[in-house]
Amino acid sequence: MEPAPVFRTPRKRVAYYYDHDVGNFSYGLGHPMKPHRMRMTHNLVTNYGLHKKMDILRPKRATRDQMTRFHTDEYVDFLHRVTPESVHELTSEGTRYLIGEDCPAFDGLYEFCSISAGGSLAAAARLNSGESDVAINWAGGLHHAKKREASGFCYINDIVLAILELLRVHLRVLYIDIDIHHGDGVEEAFYTTDRVMTASFHKFGDFFPGTGDVRDIGLKKGKNYSVNVPLRDGIGDLEFGNIFRPVISHIMEWYRPGAVVLQCGADSLAGDKLGCFNLSMRGHADCVAFMQTFDVPLITLGGGGYTVRNVARTWTYETGLLVGQKLDEDLPFNDYIQYFGPEYKLEVPPTSMDNLNSREYLDNLRTKIIDNLRNLPSAPGVQMQETPRTTLNPADVEVSDDEDSDLDERISQRLRDAHVQRWDDELSSDEAEADGEGLESAWAAATSRRSSSASTGKRRPGIMDPLKPYEHDLALKYISQNGAGAAKGKGRAKRTFFAARAAKPVLADLHLDEDEDEDDQDHRHHLNSRIGTRSGRTRAYFAGDGSTVPGDTTPLSDVEMGSPALSAAAVGSTNGHSRANGRW
């Protein structure tokens, strides 16, 4: 793939969101998801000096009210109270919400979710205010979470929450997903609206979550606004770029979004423990660079990625692209330098694995997708209402206990926090009044396609040895015309995100802690199956045009960037979104 004109794009104002506490959490011994990868990334970012070229901000953590703009009250309340000790006492609820092996009830689960979601909400608010052109939250991008279910290591869908915030200001929002797994949670949430277009480039077949057929294009008002690019094992930089660029170019030309959300899941990199693509770091980053060439506000999020040293390399490199800084190939000294050996380079090279994506297959796939896009009306419009301001100006806040203070004097963090809290309290009555102003919803029936290879029981070719997936059948009910609803699905057996362990990889990942040791030395996990529904379960799509009132954010100084317990304001509540049971 020819290199993108990265450093010839106009200089962007970049906001970077990071909460130091995000690296303190652990999914458990042997679990492939490692939250400390965000701390590794941040440490590398700062040691490259990238913090000097962007606003480093610590977002306020998402509240229960903010999470329930999309998720059900019962589900969020369950996440708040469940602990490793109480999960056995809540067996029925844990089963209902799919808390288990894939999505364990670890210590600090709710806090972890609030950090991830808070960063994405703050990023959306920052773009809405016009203060930044690009906002980064590597702790976000958890695209599998459903309205009332955890799935695929994801509990709260920060992406959906961020998009709902963007819709307050922007007529249309484009979501792009380059994680190796289908972005099913986000697609499902906006499957019946034309205000959000989703485009997912993913592995399809006998592979988690098993959704994302090229024929799944949306329903009702959202028909042709869901774009799925199903790929096979071993796709490399050249082939990926040759389908990514034309598809996205056509979408940008015809859809003309007001903002773009890009999920940069790093499990599509070569050598990922759960992936089977063959993208190099630069091939992955070329997607980010390509989106920079469009003069459209951009949110960049994290996602999957289970060879953590390569995740940190890639997200650091992509941060450099976003601020227009070319990085030295030799890694600077950092707190985790020993884990990047023996090469100590800012590079993730491709491997020699076979590419199962033939030129004919990719040409036919690209043609079919572009033909579907030709059916789109140019830039669909919607009626917009006046929205409240999206950021907090400290000068607008009245603080009785400090109103006579010298405005030239720096205020303390405690007082800044008090300003933020007071602003949130003042909004509560307005938010309550707006709660009944929801949009009308309509119902219809449809059936989601399933992977043909999974239904026939064929084994996925490649370097891993998955278990045979269960037969399953997806039944969907959905809403239309920007409403929300729920419906009952057919019974299926419960599936898991990773179900098999194979031999030790050729290049074992380096160990960061005791949790990493067992996982990396003895085996590697494989994502090979799909989550199923139980009889009587429900699912829903949320096609939002929600209203939120965010606050301000607090910049971090060079000294504070590595310290916890800083505060900032978050985003307020939505207007009148009915919440209904939903499932993947």
Write out pLDDT tens, residues 284-339.
Answer: 999 999 999 999 999 999 999 999 999 999 999 999 999 999 999 999 999 999 99
Q: Is 89 exposed, middle or buried (0-12, 13-18, 19+ CB in 10 A)?
A: exposed
CA 152 to CA 102: how far, in whole Å?
Answer: 6
pLDDT of residue 574: 35
pLDDT of residue 472: 26
Residue bearing the bigger pLDDT, 538 or 15: 15
pLDDT of residue 376: 83
Contact 103, 79 (CB under 8 A): no
Confidence of residue 457 (pLDDT cuts 50, 70, 90): very low
**DSSP bridge partners of 405:** none
Residue 239 has pLDDT above 50, yes or no: yes
pLDDT of residue 33: 97
- For residue 232, tell me if it sits in a domain: yes
Nearest to 124 by CA among 529, 571, 505: 571
**C-alpha separations of 164 from 125, 170, 308, 473, 574 in Å:** 10, 10, 30, 30, 9
Structure tokens at 246: 């034309």
Contact 3, 45 (CB under 8 A): no
Query: What's the total number of domains in the chain?
Result: 1
pLDDT of residue 354: 97
Residue 508 has pLDDT above 80, yes or no: no
What element of type H or E holds 114? helix 109-129
- Catalytic pick among 144, 181, 419, 577: 144
List, in order, residues 6 or more apart from 82 with CB less than 8 Å away: 90, 93, 94, 99, 105, 109
pLDDT of residue 378: 73
Q: Indicate if the alpha-carbon torsion angle 403, 409, 413, 419 is positive or negative.
A: positive
Residue 484 has pLDDT above 60, yes or no: no
To the nearest whole percent, how much of the chain has pLDDT over 90? Answer: 59
- For residue 395, tell me if it sits in a domain: no
- For residue 582, tell me if it sits in a domain: no
Structure tokens at 416: 């800044």
Contact 299, 261 (CB under 8 A): yes
The predicted model gives 444-450 an average pLDDT of 36
Residue bearing the bigger pLDDT, 462 or 511: 511
CA 451 to CA 205: how far, in whole Å?
Answer: 5
Give the least confident one: 87-91, 161-165, 420-424. 420-424
Contact 148, 582 (CB under 8 A): yes
- 148-173: buried (b, 16+ CB within 10 Å) or exposed (e) per residue? bbbbbbbbbbbbbbbbbbbbbbbbbb
Contact 578, 441 (CB under 8 A): yes
Query: In whole numbers, what is the pLDDT of the chain averaged over residues?
Result: 74
Helices 308-323 and 281-292, axial angle in degrees (round to 10): 30
- For residue 262, tell me if it sits in a domain: yes
pLDDT digits (tens, 9 = 90+) for 379-399: 766 655 555 555 433 333 233
Residue 20 has pLDDT above 70, yes or no: yes
CA 121 to CA 156: how far, in whole Å?
Answer: 12
CA 551 to CA 120: how far, in whole Å?
Answer: 13
Residue 470 has pLDDT above 60, yes or no: no
CA 396 to CA 388: how far, in whole Å?
Answer: 14
- The CATH number linked to 465 is 3.40.800.20
pLDDT of residue 434: 36
Question: Which alpha helices (H) appear in 374-443, and where do they start and end?
Answer: 413-434
- For residue 512, tell me if it sits in a domain: yes
CA 14 to CA 315: how far, in whole Å?
Answer: 15
Give the least confident one: 239-243, 300-304, 371-375. 371-375
- For residue 97, tell me if it sits in a domain: yes
The predicted model gives 9-25 an average pLDDT of 89
Give the least confident one: 108-112, 114-118, 277-281, 383-387. 383-387
Structure tokens at 353: 């694995």
Nearest to 255 by CA among 194, 311, 208: 194
pLDDT digits (tens, 9 = 90+) for 36-74: 999 999 999 999 999 999 999 999 999 999 999 999 999
pLDDT digits (tens, 9 = 90+) for 525-579: 333 333 333 333 333 333 344 433 344 444 554 433 433 322 333 333 333 333 3
Residue bearing the bigger pLDDT, 568 or 449: 449
Query: What length does the chain have?
Result: 584
Residue 30 has pLDDT above 90, yes or no: yes
List, in order, residues 6 or more apart from 115 with CB less than 8 Å away: 19, 21, 22, 61, 62, 139
Residue 268 has pLDDT above 60, yes or no: yes
Give the least confident one: 81-85, 245-249, 351-355, 566-570. 566-570
Contact 113, 79 (CB under 8 A): yes
**C-alpha separations of 426 from 397, 401, 549, 566 in Å:** 10, 17, 11, 22
3-class DSSP state of 314: helix
CA 235 to CA 213: how far, in whole Å?
Answer: 17
CA 219 to CA 225: how far, in whole Å?
Answer: 8
pLDDT of residue 80: 95
Confidence of residue 27 (pLDDT cuts 50, 70, 90): very high
Nearest to 69 by CA among 154, 134, 147: 147
Residue 373 has pLDDT above 50, yes or no: yes
**DSSP bridge partners of 152:** none
pTM of the model: 0.70
The predicted model gives 93-105 an average pLDDT of 85
For residue 83, give its domain range. Answer: 6-381+438-562
Q: Indicate if the alpha-carbon torsion angle 68, 71, 76, 77 is positive or negative.
A: positive
Contact 39, 160 (CB under 8 A): no
The predicted model gives 513-522 an average pLDDT of 41
Confidence of residue 452 (pLDDT cuts 50, 70, 90): very low
- 36 is an active site residue: no
List, in order, residues 6 or more apart from 300 with CB less than 8 Å away: 134, 135, 136, 137, 262, 264, 288, 318, 322
Return left, alpha or beta for 205; rule: phi > 0 is left, psi -120 to 50 is alpha, else beta.
left
Contact 576, 434 (CB under 8 A): yes
Residue 195 has pLDDT above 50, yes or no: yes
Q: Which amino acid, one-letter code, is at 10?
A: P
CA 417 to CA 399: how far, in whole Å?
Answer: 11
What element of type H or E holds 183? none
- For residue 363, tell me if it sits in a domain: yes
- For residue 571, tell me if it sits in a domain: no
